[in-house]
Chain A
């Protein structure tokens, strides 16, 4: 196990894409960039105090989770303050597919959405997911399974297998 922290750049390279996917799954593509930026800036701030050898991905997802809760609460307080969709260049096939799956995940209840995101997108074991979102390991497992079951109905077709 390493006794010193690697340069933060390595953390961004290794985990940046996964954290962005988690943010997209939990908050949708519109808010994901902001959540990613806030997560990594907060992580950079706290980084020197991180214990070397820690599970960095779980640490980052924990920070992202707090940002997601903040944003979700802010949305609840200002339900009408929804930004209009900006003009976007026509997405390529992959982007659209990613976006559609994002939209389907977005339609899930919050608990199912985060359970799916943290277990299936971030690859965290249910014990860690439960520690993060509260409740038992079984409850986390159930929430993720229910979410996946719904996704199979709402998004099942057209998914490359």
Chain B
């Protein structure tokens, strides 16, 4: 009888099932190199990192133009990144170094050592009237507040109070673009993208810092 060669053919070779995990250090090194080469090649459209703050972890995202997004944890950072992929570009990498300057300024703000941000800002995520409103907010100084109605006037549309509220509620760059300084005409605090408690914390921080600076 003829014998035929029948190679063994397991669907999962036991040669590989216990292959050790790739060392984290190796992946970190390769990731760093990818960020560097992507940036050199102009392929890093959106860089992001997270930082800790007194109001919880903040996501910071930047394009080549500047800071494009600051997000609170309650906005769900994963969902925020998915939206950035959809609305700006899916070429998104975790690249903390690219956000060192932004992280430093935000840290200084929360430490009460910075009253205004000098960061370049990318307004891509705010359009039309909303963008106009947000650009006006930078005129509200540290530790001060303005009413939604006053901002509507400043934006040239006195009747658009509700639209000002919407612009603040959808501010893509909270903290840095100070929508927390916009309150209701009757003096009550109003809503906030990061929650009312966070708004109170920021206003208290600015009030307290103003006393001590």
**A residues lining the B interface (CB < 8 Å):** 4-9, 12, 16-17, 20-21, 33, 36-37, 40-41, 44-45, 47-48, 94-95, 97-98, 101, 116, 120-121, 141-142, 144-146, 148-149, 151-152, 155, 159-161
Q: Contacts A16-B30, A45-B41 given; indicate if A21 touches B22 (C-beta within 8 A).
A: yes
B38 touching A145 by the CB < 8 A rule? no
Instruction: Determine whether the beta carbon of B7 is less than 8 Å from that of A146.
Output: yes
Determine if B9 and A141 form an interchain contact, defined as CB atoms under 8 angstroms apart: yes
**Which chain A residue shows the least CB distance to B29?**
A33
Contact across chains for A159 and B82 when beta carbons are under 8 A apart: no
**A45–B31 CB distance below 8 A:** no
Assess whether A20 is in contact with B84, with CB atoms less than 8 Å apart: no
Say yes or no for B1: interface residue by CB 8 A criterion. Answer: no
- Measured CB to CB, the nearest residue on chain A to B40 is A41
Given A17-B27, A37-B33; A142-B92 close (CB under 8 Å): no
Dominant secondary structure at the B interface: mixed
B34 touches A145 (CB 8 A): no
CA distance A97 to B14 in the complex (A): 14
Whether the pair A44, B91 counts as a contact (CB closer than 8 A) is: yes
A residues near B86, Cβ cutoff 8 Å: 4
Q: Determine if B13 is an interface residue (Cβ-Cβ < 8 Å).
A: yes
Q: Which residues of B contact A (CB under 8 A)?
A: 7-10, 12-16, 18-23, 26-27, 30-31, 33-34, 37-38, 41, 43, 46, 48, 81-82, 84-86, 89-94
Are A9 and B38 in touch, CB under 8 angstroms? no
A41 touches B82 (CB 8 A): no
Would B18 and A7 count as touching, CB distance under 8 A?
no
Verify A33–B30 contact, CB threshold 8 A.
yes
- Nearest Cβ distance between residue B45 and chain A, in whole angstroms? 9
Partner of B7, one of A47, A145, A159: A145
B34 in contact with A148 (CB, 8 Å): no
Contact among B7, B14, B21, B81 with A161 in the assembled complex (CB-CB below 8 Å): B14
- CB of A4 within 8 A of CB of B19, answer no
Q: List chain B residues, Cβ under 8 A from A44.
A: 34, 38, 43, 91, 93
B42 CB to nearest A CB, Å: 10
Residues of A within 8 A of B7 (CB): 142, 145-146, 148-149
Which residue of the partner chain A has the closest CB to B22?
Answer: A17
* B-chain residues with CB within 8 Å of residue A146 when the two chains form the complex: 7
A41 touches B37 (CB 8 A): yes
Q: How far is the CA of A160 from the CA of B19 in the complex (A)?
A: 9
The reply to whether B30 and A6 form a contact with Cβ atoms under 8 Å apart is no
For A98, give its contact among B19, B27, B82 (CB under 8 Å): B19
Q: List 15 A-B contacts (CB under 8 A).
A: A4-B86, A7-B85, A12-B31, A17-B21, A17-B22, A21-B19, A21-B22, A33-B30, A41-B43, A44-B34, A47-B90, A48-B91, A120-B13, A148-B13, A159-B18
Q: Is the CB of A121 within 8 A of B9?
A: no
Q: State in angstroms the CA–CA spacing of A95 and B82 once bound together.
A: 36
Chain B residues with Cβ below 8 Å from A9 are 48, 81, 92-94
List 19 additional A-B contacts (Cβ < 8 Å) besides A7-B82, A146-B7: A5-B90, A6-B90, A9-B48, A17-B21, A20-B22, A20-B30, A37-B33, A41-B34, A41-B38, A41-B43, A44-B43, A98-B19, A98-B20, A101-B15, A120-B13, A148-B7, A148-B9, A159-B15, A160-B18
What are the nearest 8 A-B pairs in CB distance? A7-B92, A145-B7, A94-B20, A5-B90, A17-B22, A7-B85, A145-B9, A160-B18
